[in-house]
Amino acid sequence: MSDVPQAGTKEWVLEPETEYRFELDPGTSLAIKLLRGNAEIFGAELAEGKTYLFGFECKAAVFTWQGCTIKMRQPSTEYVSEETPMGAYANLHMAFEQMRVRALSALHGSPVPDADYGASAEPPRVLVVGPENSGKTTICKILTNYAVRVGQNRSPILVNVDPSEGAWIIPGTVSAAVVTSPIATSSPVNPLGSAATTAPTVLASNALTPLVYWYGHSEIKKNPLLLDRLIRNLGENVMERHCNDPEERTSGLIVDTSSSFASGSGSADNRQTLVKACVDAFRINVILVVGHEKLNVEMQRSYGSRLTVVKIPKSGGVVDLDPSYQERVHNYQLHAYMYGQKLDPPPGITSAIVASEAAADLVLAPSSSVVKFEDITIYRIGEETMAPSSALPIGATRTLSEMQPILLDPAAVGSGLLNRVLGILSPFHPDENERYDEEILDLSVTGFLVITNLDVPNRKMTILSPNQGSIIGKTVVIGSFEWRE
């Protein structure tokens, strides 16, 4: 390491196959420039001579295969590690790439490589599971970025079924997107990249258009039945897309899961049910278990006879995240959905890149409007608080289903609508004969709004939304997230 004359800057010379790890404190930002060599962040390459900006308590690592020199300004916590699991992750990528090559050869009727050895011609459909703070999302990003960097028009589908994460939009969602270019990392606000629905329309490289379903909560135990249904809806859409585009299908898919799929809160039955929902919905043929021996044994026992289960190492750079950090990130994500991702660069930095774009281009201006109570239809799925079935008296049954849509009256006392985040549903099926009572559960969302004021005497409400379009006549669903400016 050598200090640079500029105040607050440092240069690090990284040896081959090492990584520079950093963690940012609240309210701080970090600028990194690649001076020489090759480097990447979670599988996405850095361009030499460009300055990259990071913030919102970002925790990430700059890895180099051949060695490099980087310069940064204003780091919080930083160190270099010579022990990384990147070799194991690169081996996984190569194995998955061989599967893609075989699938593409089979599609085009070409001789399938390795066919004599009984190798499948199916593309990789990968489920990543592991306990809390094991680096699952990082692994999914690395494998996705390596796939699109191959240069063979790879377009894997990245699926997120962790409602606490936020993925492309906001927390409380499950979603899937076709990825055609590397996912850049700048903060935990958009851990899987920015969606076209939340980025300014001038941005071409942010044209990710995820399919999104609104679960409405961060905790899986809140309504596991609903989450199961949304996962299966997502899977149906992904499989239908693959049927319509066999070429894209050969790129495969990667599914990022919540730690609740592996351990922690919720019953073992719920965990197994959700893993099975993913295996069935996305026709999973590879399960990656991140650094957890007991879970690996469990997955081998349940699925080892019909698909591949691989235990992979957890990175030593994974940071333990406490609940207060996650709460702050959720607030960052909701604010960024409305206003864009504004990062203040460190002193002396005049231009920088945030998530592949110029920092100044990522600012939005939300729209505040007043609507009548009857202009929109508001539902809640199940009761606000619902005891688990195991807590009911023996012989007792629910009077209300966890999956039942309940119509809400904004004028009712205790409606709980003020400052709540609501998902705007896609239109209902136009054919009345196709309608059914629970159709609300199967509709994706087109955006989100927050109710910022309730005027009960005049039966009006003020709503905030990043989009200028009218929501009159729309159906919305409330979740358990609140957001105040």
Going by pLDDT thresholds of 50, 70 and 90, the confidence category of residue 156 is very high
CA distance 154 to 143: 12
What's the pLDDT at 194?
74
What's the pLDDT at 205?
45
Q: Is the pLDDT of residue 468 over 70?
A: no
The two tokens of residue 88 are: 């194991």
The span from the first CA to the last CA of the chain, in angstroms, equals 42
Q: Is the pLDDT of residue 70 over 70?
A: yes
- Span 11-21, mean pLDDT? 95
416-426 residue pLDDT tens: 899 999 999 99
What's the pLDDT at 211?
93
31-56 residue pLDDT tens: 999 999 999 999 999 999 999 999 99
Q: Which domains are assigned to the chain?
A: 2-83+343-362 (2.60.120.1030), 86-312 (3.40.50.300), 367-482 (2.40.30.330)
- The residue among 15 and 412 whose pLDDT is bigger is 15
What's the pLDDT at 436?
73
Q: Is the pLDDT of residue 5 over 50?
A: no
Instruction: Find out whether 180 and 148 touch, Cβ atoms under 8 Å.
Output: yes
pTM of model > 0.85: yes
